Amino acid sequence: MRYIPHTEDDVRQMLRAIGVASVESLFASIPEKLRLGRSLALPKAASEQEVLAELAALAARNAHAESHDWFLGAGTYAHFVPSAIDALASRAEFYTSYTPYQPEISQGTLQTIFEWQTMICALTGLDVSNASMYDGASAAAEAVLMAMRLTRRHKIVTVGLHPHYRDVLRTYSAGPQGVVAEAPREASGRTVPLSNLLDRETACVVLQQPSFLGVVEEVRAAADAAHAVGALLVVVVTEALSLALLRGPGELGADIVCGEAQSFGVPMSFGGPHLGFLATRSSFVRQMPGRVVGQTLDARGRRGFVLTLSTREQHIRRERATSNICTNQGLMLLRATIYLALLGRRGLRELARMNLAKAAYLRARVRATPGLRLPISAPGFNEVVVGVPGSAAHALKHALDDRIVGGLDLAPYASEFGPALLVCTTELASRSGIDRLVKALSQAG
């Protein structure tokens, strides 16, 4: 076995030092009748060459963003990933280390997290960020639990929230008796005024920006409505690139901004590992879940970084911890930090404008194409609801025949628009690809 270095001589020498006769006798503390007593029924070991071939064959049975033109978003986004990210994230010093418990030999990871926290604060318009959550959905769930603790209330009103996120909120908040309700939508796709839906039992409003249907929502009005009843505003962002154009929700009154940063250099990878983020006001930091890195000095007065405020965490506070999270998404945080460093102050905006332009082009083409509709008039970023003739499933099938993954069938999520797709245009969508998509969808009826 190439991962295990022991020779038979080594084993004999070690057994002698321990003072036992056999490897088997090392397991003497496991009563005989509790031992398996047979080999595990698993396929026999495969060589490296065989494993590569077997996995390549499985990979070949999945469509992916290189095999098809890709217009499917809805929380997971096909963006270009610069080569430097894979190169740097493949450095063993990053990916074969663990949580930086020993700061003197973990400054690479700690400084990266501090840089991430700084950039997330800049993008969200808030004061403090943690060192990642599992994904956008669990980040939203942790934000809700945090709001429930801060307000000691149990009602949660969601606005335009991704249905999977809403499911995860329900799962997480069931223990502390949270009640989750989605605000109704207007025909425009926008949410109805919130004030009628909120009361003194509301812990928080959870507003997705842009919404699941791609609509850019009014943050300030939601913040005012939430604050008027003593509730908090949680803004959830699933398309983090939108933050390059949109004002940090913290500047518009959001108390917690959280979501998914997969768009920043993290592969889609069938939905994970992705990168949950969570930022809040400094006054709430003691209730924030997850790890956080702070600046300090070493014994000789030089700047360094450490994990800090750990009295919030499970290994210290145990059942009174702000969260049970331990291992988080460190390597994805590294990728996103590299991504933001490469794109930087100008590149991120330029890329976001490119996404916006592609969506505007798609809208223009849809508007000009008989049979297709734009049921939502409200502004959006890089996702568009496109009404199709006949059935959405049929339209998607028609696009697939032309090797196009055409978007998400909205039938299970939002039936009021008739047969419709949620179509996403990132920088990977070419003009000719959009033209082919529009043609395929319009001809499906």
Partner 1 sequence: MSTDDRQSVGPETLGNAARGLAYEEPLLFERSRPGRVGYSLPALDVPPVAPEDELPAALLRADCEGLPELSEVDVVRHFTRISTWNYAVDLGLYPLGSCTMKYNPKVNEAVASFAGFARTHPLQPVALSQGLLYLFHQLEKHLAEISGMDRVSLQPAAGAQGELAGVMMIRAYHEHRGERRTKILVPDSAHGTNPASAGLNGYEIVSVPSGADGVLHPEAVAAVMGPGVAALMLTNPSTLGLFEEHIVRIAEIVHAGGGLVYGDGANLNALLGVARPGDLGIDVMHFNLHKTFSTPHGGGGPGAGPVGVKNLLAPYLPVPVVRKLSGSEGDGFALDYEFPHSIGRLHGNFGNVGMLVRAFAYIRTLGPDGLRRCAEMAVLNANYLLARLREAYHVPFDRPVMHECVLSDARLEGTGVTTLDVAKRLIDHGYHPPTVYFPLIVHGALMIEPTESESLEGLDRFVDAMLAIAREAEVDPETVRSAPHFTRLSRLDETRAARKPILRWQPGPFEA
Decide whether 119 or 206 has the Cβ nearer to partner 1. Answer: 119
Out of 117, 158, 208, 263, the only residue in the binding site for partner 1 (CB under 8 A) is: 117
Shortest CB 428 distance to partner 1, Å: 10
Q: Could you say whether residue 331 binds partner 1 (CB under 8 A)?
A: yes
Q: Could you say whether residue 179 binds partner 1 (CB under 8 A)?
A: no
Q: Could you say whether residue 128 binds partner 1 (CB under 8 A)?
A: yes
Strands 128-129 and 69-70, by their bridges, are: unpaired
Q: Could you say whether residue 436 binds partner 1 (CB under 8 A)?
A: no
Do residues 408 and 392 lie in contact, with contact meaning Cβ atoms separated by under 8 Å? Answer: no
Out of 188, 195, 283, 324, the only residue in the binding site for partner 1 (CB under 8 A) is: 324
Shortest CB 228 distance to partner 1, Å: 19
Q: Could you say whether residue 72 binds partner 1 (CB under 8 A)?
A: yes
Over the window 21 to 60, marking each residue x when it contacts partner 1 by CB under 8 A and - when it does not, the resulting string is: --x--xxxxxx--xxx--xxxxxxxx-x--xx-xxxxxxx
CA distance 322 to 195: 29
Shortest CB 367 distance to partner 1, Å: 14
Q: Which residues of 229-244 are buried (b: 16+ CB within 10 A; e: fewer)?
A: bebbbbbbbbbbbbbb
Is 35 buried (19+), middle (13-18) or exposed (0-12) by CB count in 10 A? Answer: exposed
Site for partner 1 in 185-214 (CB under 8 A): none
Q: Could you say whether residue 161 binds partner 1 (CB under 8 A)?
A: no
CA distance 112 to 118: 10
Q: Which stretch binds partner 1 (CB under 8 A): 146-154, 187-195, 239-247, 368-376?
A: 239-247
Out of 144, 254, 268, 376, the only residue in the binding site for partner 1 (CB under 8 A) is: 268
Of the candidates 137, 430, 392, 399, which has an alpha carbon nearest to the alpha carbon of residue 258? 137
Amino acid at 223: A
Long-range contacts, 181-184 (Cβ 8 Å, 24+): 181/155, 181/156, 181/157, 182/157, 182/158, 183/157, 183/158, 183/159
Tokens read off for 358: 């592609």
Q: Which stretch binds partner 1 (CB under 8 A): 194-202, 223-231, 267-275, 369-377?
A: 267-275
Q: Could you say whether residue 121 binds partner 1 (CB under 8 A)?
A: yes
Out of 69, 78, 203, 417, the only residue in the binding site for partner 1 (CB under 8 A) is: 78
CA distance 107 to 305: 7
Tokens read off for 301: 């007065």
Q: Could you say whether residue 180 binds partner 1 (CB under 8 A)?
A: no
Of the candidates 117, 171, 107, which has an alpha carbon nearest to the alpha carbon of residue 328? 117
Q: Which stretch binds partner 1 (CB under 8 A): 225-233, 240-248, 368-376, 384-392?
A: 240-248
Site for partner 1 in 79-98 (CB under 8 A): 82, 84, 86-88, 90-98
Q: Could you say whether residue 13 binds partner 1 (CB under 8 A)?
A: yes
Site for partner 1 in 284-313 (CB under 8 A): 285, 291-300, 302-306, 308-311, 313
Out of 153, 155, 190, 274, the only residue in the binding site for partner 1 (CB under 8 A) is: 274
CA distance 359 to 363: 6
